[in-house]
Amino acid sequence: MKIVDMHCDTISELFQRMKDKRADTLAKNELHIDIEKMKKGDYLLQNFAMFVDLNEREDALFYCLELIDLYYRQMELNQEVIAPVFCYEDIERNKKDGKMSALLTIEEGGVTRGSLAHLRNFYRLGVRMLTLTWNHENGIGYPNVTIKDGRPDWHTPNTADGLTDFGLEFIQEMENIGMIIDVSHLSDAGFYQVLAHTTKPFVASHSNARSICPHVRNLTDDMIYKLSGRGGVMGMNFYPAFLGEDADAGTIKAIVKNILHIRNVGGYECIGLGSDFDGIPGHDELKDSSCMPLLAEALEKAGLSNHEIEAVFYKNVLRVYKELL
């Protein structure tokens, strides 16, 4: 079963490990994702997010450019087995050549520093998807997590603060240049503004169902329904804290539970994968990218048809990429 995963933080982790003089590379490492594990998992395409925490980086733009440089250096070192893609035809070409594909994304729109020119330049560098916010307010808009009594409140969604005036310009320019809008982390208010001020499909690259797990990082049933109606896709996040609140949260069973619920709300056509590998502590059963066939087996046992499993694992996301890239 081929796999398309819309979100991982592997490049950011590799950057830190290389800075610490460790021998890890994309070819082989101790992280959730490397070339060797992806081959075992039968990967077709992996989105590689350039994750930037605005509170930890004095110059977020400079740091993001360093991550992009590392991404391309790793692509060059492994060019026999994986290649970056800039349009849908590149995915088809890589598949024909027996190579996996890599899609460059950014997780934190604040790296653009309030500049549409920076956004366009990131597109020229190969960025094809951008997460509007992480967990901090930026010039584009507000995240869904709020601070209460000095601590993050992960259960009360932000329904008041959405996109800024610049944020509205930003998403329209993203649509104009062909960069996919990612609403994971964005406030509830921001989600509905994206819906109201865009016309093309957009994604929630690594978010689950809030009805199953009441965490602000997840989507409500209404959001799922409307995302599906727009032709968008949401990627299942494997972080136990986003999957449930019971003892099964770290199991494949919890992922299946979220998928079955979302299928009932928005149809199987709006479901994809967004593991968040190397951005989360781990998953009890899907320990790394080589274990993905276990999820396919569990979905089959849960009653999904082979057609539906293929759609969730890669075809739904490819449909969006074919339309937007």
pLDDT at 204: 99
Q: Output the six-digit token pair for 107.
A: 């997780």
- Res. 148 pLDDT band, cuts 50 70 90: confident
Say yes or no to pLDDT of 152 above 90: no
Say yes or no to pLDDT of 147 above 80: no
The model's pTM is: 0.97
Q: Output the six-digit token pair for 3.
A: 């796999």
Residues 166-193: what's their mean pLDDT? 99
pLDDT at 16: 94
Contacts 24+ apart (CB under 8 A), 93-96: 95/44
Share of the chain above pLDDT 90, in %: 92
pLDDT at 107: 99
- Res. 284 pLDDT band, cuts 50 70 90: confident
DSSP calls for 216-231: TTSBPHHHHHHHHHTT
What are the chain's domains? 3-324 (3.20.20.140)
Render pLDDT for 7-26 as a digit per residue (tens, 0 to 9): 999 999 999 998 888 888 99
User: Which residues are 46's β-sheet partners?
Assistant: 5, 102
Question: Which residue has 């690594």 as its token pair?
Answer: 206
For 144, other C-beta atoms within 10 Å of its C-beta total 28
pLDDT at 22: 85
Number of H helices, E strands in the chain: 13, 11
Render pLDDT for 189-226 as a digit per residue (tens, 0 to 9): 999 999 999 999 999 999 999 999 999 999 999 999 99
Q: How far apart are CA 313 and CA 277, in angstroms?
A: 15
